[in-house]
Structure 1
Amino acid sequence: MSCGLSQLQKQEPPGDIYRAITSTLKALLKDKSLTFQKSSWYGDDLCPAAWDYVFSLDLLCAQLGWIWTVSHVIRKSVWLILNTWLKQTQTEETKFRNVSVAAIFRLLGRLGQQGLKENVAASVEDLVKSVNEFRGQKDLPWELQLAVVYATHDLAPSNPKVALNALESWRKDLTKPVPPAVTKCLKQISFLCSHINTKQLITLNIV
Structure 2
Amino acid sequence: MGNYRTKLTRADIKGEPPGNIHNAITSTLKSFLEDSSLRFVKNSWYGYDLCPATWNYIFSLDLLCAQLGWTWTITNIIWKDLWLILNTWLRQARTEQTPFRDVCVAAVFRLLGMPWEVQLSVIYATHDLAPSNPEAALKTLESWRKNSTQRVPPAVIKCITQISFLCHQTKSQNSKKLL
TM-score interval (norm. to shorter): 0.5 to 0.7
Which structure would you say has the larger Rg?
Answer: 2
- CA distance in 1: counterparts of 2:124 and 2:21, whole angstroms: 37
Counterpart position of 2:129: 170
Q: 2:41 aligns with which of 37, 40, 51?
A: 37
Count of aligned pairs between the two proteins: 136
Change (3 A) 1:48 1:180: farther
Query: How far apart in 2 are the matches of 1:88 and 1:167?
Result: 20
Counterpart among 192, 196, 199 of residue 152 in structure 2: 192
Overall identity of the aligned pairs, in %: 51
Q: Which residue of 1 aligns with 2:76?
A: 72
Aligned partner of 1:183 in structure 2 is 142
CA offset at residue 93 of structure 1? 5.8
| 1-structure distance, mates of 2:123, 2:38 | 30
- Which protein, 1 or 2, shows the higher relative CO under an 8 Å CA cutoff with sep ≥ 6? 1
Per the alignment, do residues 96 and 165 of structure 1 end up closer, same or farther by CA in structure 2, a change over 3 Å counting? closer
Which segment is superposed worse, 23-32 or 35-44?
Answer: 35-44
Determine if contact 1:164/1:186 at 8 Å carries over to the other structure: no
Give the whole-Å Cα distance in 2 for the aligned partners of 1:76 and 1:106.
Answer: 17
| Deviations 1:24-82, CA, capped at 9 Å, x for gaps | 11111100111101122222110000000000000001111110011001001111222
* Cα distance in 1, alignment partners of residues 92 and 140 from structure 2: 30
Q: TM-score, normalised by structure 2?
A: 0.63
Q: Cα RMSD between the aligned structures?
A: 3.0
Equivalent residue for 1:98, pick from 97, 102, 116: 102
1: distance between equivalents of 2:125 and 2:49? Answer: 21
Identify unmatched segments of 5+ residues in structure 2: 1-17, 155-179
8 Å contact kept, 1:164–1:190: no
Structure 1 residue 189 displacement after superposition: 8.1
Q: Distance in 2 between matches of 1:48 and 1:82?
A: 22
Shift in CA distance, 15/50, structure 1 to aligned 2, threshold 3 Å: same
TM-score normalised according to structure 1 size: 0.55
